[in-house]
Amino acid sequence: MDEIKDFEDFYTIKLQPLITNLKAEAGAAGNWGIIAPVTAFLAVVTFAAYQVGYIEQFSGTAITFFIIAIAVSVYFYSNRKDKYTRDFKETIIREIISYLHPGIIYKPDEVIAKEDYKHSGLFRKNFDWYDGDDYMEGIYKNVPFRCSELLTQYESGSRNLLRTIFKGLFFVGEINTFISSATYVWASGHEQTGGSIADERYLLMKLPTVHKIKLECASADFENNFSVYSTNPSEAGSILTKAMTERFVKFKQQVDRDIAISFVAGRCYVAIAINEDLLEPTGFDTDDREEVKKYFFTILLVLSIINQLHLNEMQ
């Protein structure tokens, strides 16, 4: 990726002191994380022993005690874990963002607006669940942008099981108000055009009338990975130049993820599918330098969208 900073020096000078301050908090959360399952195990053993008649005296009292202990330990674990996650983001993640691009506004508990998601046209399936966090907005290379981690799901089947539509990084860049059409670059095989009238009417969010576009300048790699649809074929051709299609292929290869991109009424929308949580601490090992490096490169990925796609040249 472009503009990779010296992570090792940054970690030692800036992050290490902050991480040291979080050690006690991480330890407390981790301890409660051990106490909760151990207490649950002892409760199960006690109940099983009572069922087979191995113990009788005070068994009811013991089981009641363990149930209370489980509830208390789960409460404290959840409370300490949430506090650690919150403080981790407010110190470590915020410091990384400030280092990479000081102008970014970071709101850990907020998510990209539903209107942006719908307006992008990248995922048309009606959703029942919309959630996310780690919202960021700013201006980079004169491109105003906003993004967040996002999860959308829909209910399926008689048991109303939630199935994922999209999980990952969702990005919006303000590029050119003179782009009036809508051009969609979907992953090949995942076109959002609908398979039937019933799909269009009942299952999918509205989309303007689009035409499949065959780009004469596109390489075989682009054709194999993407499908292009647009409300204005002529304008789509001016956006998706040979250079731009090459950038799409290169960017997909670099991130090694499924991506979808649209240009709608002056905005560029980018969705990068990522299954793991982006900026959430996965454990309580504060000395895991490689884990912190993942957050560093996740934030660089946001800036890399503008760099790799040359969105600043579309102003």
**How do residues 227-256 score in pLDDT, each as one tens digit?**
999 999 999 999 999 999 999 999 999 999
Contact 210/229 with Cβ under 8 angstroms? yes
φ, ψ for residue 184 (rounded to 5)?
-115, 130
Closest among 32, 34, 64 to 46, alpha carbons compared: 64
- Token reading at 169: 């990084």
Q: Choose one of 40, 73, 100: the last residue of a domain.
A: 100
Q: Are residues 122 and 242 in the same domain?
A: yes
**Does residue 123 sit in helix, strand or coil?**
coil
Closest among 106, 82, 85 to 94, alpha carbons compared: 106
Q: What is the pLDDT of residue 4?
A: 45
Q: Are residues 115 and 213 in the same domain?
A: yes
- Token reading at 297: 């490169």
Report the alpha-carbon distance of residue 237 to residue 228 in Å, rounded.
10
Q: What is the pLDDT of residue 259?
A: 96
pLDDT tens-digit readout, 91-121: 999 999 999 999 999 999 999 999 999 999 9
Cβ neighbours around 90 below 10 Å, total: 13
Q: Choose one of 55, 74, 100: the last residue of a domain.
A: 100
Q: What is the pLDDT of residue 195?
A: 66
Residues in the chain: 315
Average pLDDT of the residues in 128-134: 96
180: confidence class by pLDDT, cuts 50, 70, 90: confident
Q: Are residues 135 and 119 in the same domain?
A: yes
Contact 207/231 with Cβ under 8 angstroms? no
Contact 271/209 with Cβ under 8 angstroms? no
Q: Choose one of 51, 80, 100: the last residue of a domain.
A: 100
Of the candidate ranges 31-40, 255-264, 266-275, the one whose mean pLDDT is the lowest: 31-40
- Supply the range of the domain harboring residue 88: 7-100
Report the alpha-carbon distance of residue 301 to residue 219 in Å, rounded.
25
Report the alpha-carbon distance of residue 16 to residue 95 in Å, rounded.
11
Q: Are strands 211-213 and 182-187 parallel, antiparallel or unpaired?
A: unpaired
Q: Are residues 133 and 76 in the same domain?
A: no
Q: Are residues 65 and 117 in the same domain?
A: no
Average pLDDT of the residues in 246-275: 96
Q: What is the pLDDT of residue 114?
A: 97
What's the DSSP call for residue 187? E
Q: What predicted TM-score, i.e. pTM, was given to this entire model? A: 0.84
Q: What is the pLDDT of residue 288?
A: 81
**Is a pLDDT exceeding 50 seen at residue 11?**
yes
Q: Within a domain: residue 124?
A: yes
Average pLDDT taken over every residue of the chain: 86
Q: Are residues 90 and 120 in the same domain?
A: no
Helices 59-88, 16-51: axis angle to 10 degrees equals 160
Higher pLDDT residue, 274 or 178? 274
